[in-house]
Amino acid sequence: MTELLQKVRVIDPVSEIDELFDVLIADGYIREVASHISDISSDTQIRDCQGLVLGPGLVDLYSHSGEPGFEERETLLSLLQSAAAGGFTRVSILPDTSPAIDNPALVAQLQQKKAEGQRGRGAEENLSPLLPCSPAPLLHLWGAITLDVAGKQMTELADLASAGVVGFTDGKPLENLALVRGVLEYLQPLGKPVAFWPSDRQLAANGVMREGTDALRFGLPPIPASAETTAIAAMLELVATIGTPVHIMRVSTARSVELIASAKAAGLPITASTTWMHLLLDTKAVKSYHTSLHLDPPLGKPSDVVALRAGVRAGVIDAIAIDHTPYSYEEKVQAFAEAPPGAIGLELALPLLWQYLVETEEFTALELWRALSINPAECLGQKVSAILPHQPAELTLFDPQQTWKVERKSLYTLSQNTPWLGQQLQGRVVKTWC
């Protein structure tokens, strides 16, 4: 199919462009980008894109899949569908599946499923009509650092690297610093990204909410900010000693932003990410006791949100991760402190971030798109192509004004654990080219 997008707002953080263009797409490639395109074939599909935004496909650094082990939460197919509906053309799943992604055999098995999904075919039926794009988004696999992501015994990292994992992480805190040091030394020659979630679980204890007056007011067990900052400080010391590049996941406090800024200024090879919900909500939102607001790390104070937003704009925090964490209805219908932490987000992140950061003019469109596309790709050691002729069409078309209601029938994901369930949102992805 040949498509002509007329008068679309092209947001390209690769080329630093935010302008109106006509864009011609054919056979999976961008054929022409110009102020006006008139020389087209008779079978070209023409779309009037006034008011719409076209940017590089979004890249999610880390999210959770239910499959294998918890398919009632999410399957690989529903994950791909949800990602495409949210504008994501690449998604990287964490290894905490059941069984964990800690051996080459499971990597090969999941890659086979991934290949079937990306061809638009399942084992029993042609699934392509269900996908919001064709082919499906690229699905990358993080390999586990430790066996069964238990934090005790190192996996065969070299074998996993040869099997094709995108990088290494447990997606859980690793408190054995001797093990962390050994991992950093071992991974140096492999050239694969490694990501850590620094959190001192002894300091966090049984807490479920950021320590402060709101935690006291709501009667919920607190987690001090130092549970994160002390672990980040220890991680930075190891990086300074060994020199292996490291990605720091799930940054959630103002002090963490300061520590990372200082480390980058000193030349340490680190990148960092926060999650989209930590940029939008703070502890005051927990007043509703909605269990989808039980996150780990917990939502920060208003001052943390201000610092995180400033950190993203300044490039101290490189990327915005979605950390999509699906749970069944039964798992989340518990008391706030008893419900497992996490929320879905692949279909919701772009509309909400655009509405509350770009529409309010706190972020430019380029700043937001950069943190959701080229920067997370770079953290994975990948590149995103500019929106230029002869480049692959890995693109997201977004309508900032389209309204829709978040409900079961409007979501591709199997789970509904989000505080925005039942609410009307403004902004939705129109189409994704993968």
CA-CA-CA-CA torsion sign (368, 396, 14, 246): positive
Instruction: Look up residue 263 and give its DSSP letter.
Output: H
- Residues forming beta bridges with residue 275, ordered by sequence position: 321
96 in helix, strand or coil? coil
Instruction: Look up residue 39 and give its DSSP letter.
Output: -
Active-site residue, 18 included: no
Rounded distance between C-alpha atoms, residue 180 and residue 186, angstroms: 10
Nearest to 56 by CA among 387, 322, 312: 387
Rounded distance between C-alpha atoms, residue 385 and residue 186, angstroms: 32
* CB burial of residue 137 (10 Å; 0-12, 13-18, 19+): buried
Which candidate in 22, 102, 282, 323 is catalytic?
A: 323
What are the b/e assignments for 18-32, b being 16+ CB within 10 Å?
beebbbbbbeeebbb
Nearest to 117 by CA among 94, 136, 92, 90: 136
**Would you say 21 and 35 are in contact if contact means Cβ atoms under 8 Å apart?**
yes
**Would you say 252 and 276 are in contact if contact means Cβ atoms under 8 Å apart?**
no
**Would you say 173 and 199 are in contact if contact means Cβ atoms under 8 Å apart?**
yes
Q: How many residues does the chain have?
A: 434
Sheet holding 138-143, edge to edge: 58-63, 88-93, 138-143, 167-168
Roughly how many angstroms between the first and final C-alpha of the chain, as a whole number? 14
Distances (CA, A) of 219 to 286, 289, 297, 308: 11, 11, 18, 26
- Catalytic residue annotation: 323
